[in-house]
Amino acid sequence: MKGFKNTSAVIPVKYHLLFWLGYFIFNVVRWGSYFNDYWYSIKSNLVEFPLHIIVVYINIYWLIPYLIVKTKYKKYFIGLALLLAGLYVVRTGLNYVLVTQNIWPEAEGVQEAFTFNHIVAVVLGEIYVITLATVIKLIHDWIYELNRSRDLQKVQLQMELDLLKSQIQPHFFFNTLNNLYALTLSKSNVAPSVVLKLSDIMQYVLYEVKEPLIKLFNEVNYVQNYLDLERLRYGDRIDCSIAIIGTIENVSTPPLLFLPFIENCFKHGAYGDEPMKVVISFKNINDGFLYFKVENSCLEKDQVSSREGIGIQNVTRRLELLFKNNFELTYQIVNDTYCVRLKIPV
């Protein structure tokens, strides 16, 4: 399973530089065009932009995390007000000393600093910068958390799928070892063949089904090995067949998806010395779905509800996790024949 990649929600430095460079150029062109004096616009923005950057980052990386996130709203607004007050004093002083003594050229006539209207104009302009940068940062964090949440959900889904798959494998081996034990007690000559088939199956389960999808052709071979084991166990009392309808060479499916249904045929369909017939089919008609069907002869007392053991419960849960509502699974008994039909997307 591919683990969740834990990355920080820090915006790379190059994007900070691109933002402030782009915003600086925009402001220079905007105010240079407004005053028809680009040299004045460059000088005033060179004075103001370091202050913009300091105020924005104090708000984003200190005031919001330590006050807003902790619901200390009153302290946040007090802190922001003090920050803006300090900015106003420093910005006004630097502009007066380094740029122009006409402290507010946008207004009509000569304006003085520290008047109500000038304070409001400077503060509103700074709030605009703070809001723009903060919104960008919050959107970035929201997208990061959204992707992180999705990645965590995928990891949790894969963990649950792996757990369900791991539960199915011991269940199968437990049944097969019981069969082998019965054969060794009776000193059956087919016991060595069972060991070889079991070895092939273990190799498939332990080494070949680690990927989320495998070739259907390999899964069919796996089912065939299982049927060979059951034939060795039951002999002539079992009549098994697999039909392939359409092409399956390019079809991939989740591993170990079909065997629990086939196991149930032998678990619930074989009674004493009664003969049993098992018919399995895989159909691909190029409509975007794979159709799986397994039928076995059964007695009237064999009810549908009695077949829902750990294997079927697990595979049903896996289907829900993998395909949500985009699959169909039905159980039916008709004329002493138990039939399972499964339709999944491919």
Residues 96, 82, 128, 45: what is their CA dihedral angle, to the nearest 10 degrees? Answer: 30
What average pLDDT score do residues 269-294 get? Answer: 85
Q: Is the pLDDT of residue 226 over 80?
A: yes
The predicted structure's pLDDT at residue 167 = 58
Tell whether 63 is covered by a domain: yes
Distance, CA of 259 to CA of 255 (rounded, Å)? 9
**How close are the terminal C-alpha atoms of the chain, in Å?**
21
Structural domain of residue 108, as residue ranges? 13-114
Q: Are 184 and 99 members of one domain?
A: no
Q: Are 107 and 161 members of one domain?
A: no
Distance, CA of 28 to CA of 284 (rounded, Å)? 65
Tell whether 143 is covered by a domain: no
Which range among 92-101, 118-127, 164-173 has the greatest average pLDDT?
118-127
Q: Are 234 and 94 members of one domain?
A: no
> What single-letter amino acid sits at 3?
G
The predicted structure's pLDDT at residue 2 = 43
Helix, strand, coil: what percent of the chain each, to 5?
65, 15, 25
- Tens digits of residue pLDDT in 25-37: 998 998 888 888 8
Domain boundary among 81, 114, 147: 114
Beta strands 276-284 and 238-245 are parallel
The predicted structure's pLDDT at residue 59 = 93
Q: Is the pLDDT of residue 231 over 70?
A: yes
Largest CA distance in the chain: 113
Residue 333 sits in a domain whose CATH number is: 3.30.565.10
**Paired tokens of 159:** 């963990």
Q: Are 185 and 100 members of one domain?
A: no
Whether 161 and 321 have beta carbons less than 8 Å apart is answered as: yes
- Sheet with 328-334: strands ordered across: 238-245, 276-284, 289-297, 337-345, 328-334
Average pLDDT of the chain is: 82
Tell whether 308 is covered by a domain: yes
Stated pTM of the model: 0.55
DSSP, collapsed to helix, strand or coil, labels residue 326 as coil
Q: Are 85 and 219 members of one domain?
A: no
Domain boundary among 84, 114, 144: 114
Tell whether 130 is covered by a domain: no
Tell whether 142 is covered by a domain: no
> What single-letter amino acid sits at 326?
N
Q: Are 109 and 199 members of one domain?
A: no
Q: Are 236 and 339 members of one domain?
A: yes
- Tens digits of residue pLDDT in 137-190: 999 989 988 888 787 677 666 666 566 566 555 656 776 787 778 778 877 777
What average pLDDT score do residues 234-259 get? Answer: 87
Tell whether 277 is covered by a domain: yes
Q: Are 53 and 181 members of one domain?
A: no
Q: Are 84 and 207 members of one domain?
A: no
| Look-up of token digits 């619901």 | 71
What average pLDDT score do residues 201-215 get? Answer: 79
Q: Are 57 and 203 members of one domain?
A: no
Q: Is the pLDDT of residue 75 over 60?
A: yes
Distance, CA of 255 to CA of 265 (rounded, Å)? 19
Task: Compare 110 and 44 and report the one with higher pLDDT.
Answer: 44
Task: Compare 301 and 153 and report the one with higher pLDDT.
Answer: 153
Tell whether 282 is covered by a domain: yes
Q: Are 78 and 178 members of one domain?
A: no
Contacts of 13 (CB under 8 A, 6+ apart): none
CA angle 87, 90, 96 (to 5 degrees): 130
Distance, CA of 112 to CA of 62 (rounded, Å)? 33
Whether 304 and 268 have beta carbons less than 8 Å apart is answered as: no
Q: Is the pLDDT of residue 198 over 70?
A: yes
Any idea what DSSP says for residue 66? I
Q: Are 232 and 315 members of one domain?
A: yes
The predicted structure's pLDDT at residue 236 = 78
Tell whether 204 is covered by a domain: yes
Domain boundary among 60, 93, 114: 114
The total domain count for the chain is 2
Distance, CA of 305 to CA of 341 (rounded, Å)? 16
Task: Compare 221 and 310 and report the one with higher pLDDT.
Answer: 221
Q: Is the pLDDT of residue 279 over 90?
A: yes
Question: Which pLDDT band holds residue 8 (cuts at 50, 70, 90)?
Answer: very low
Distance, CA of 14 to CA of 102 (rounded, Å)? 36
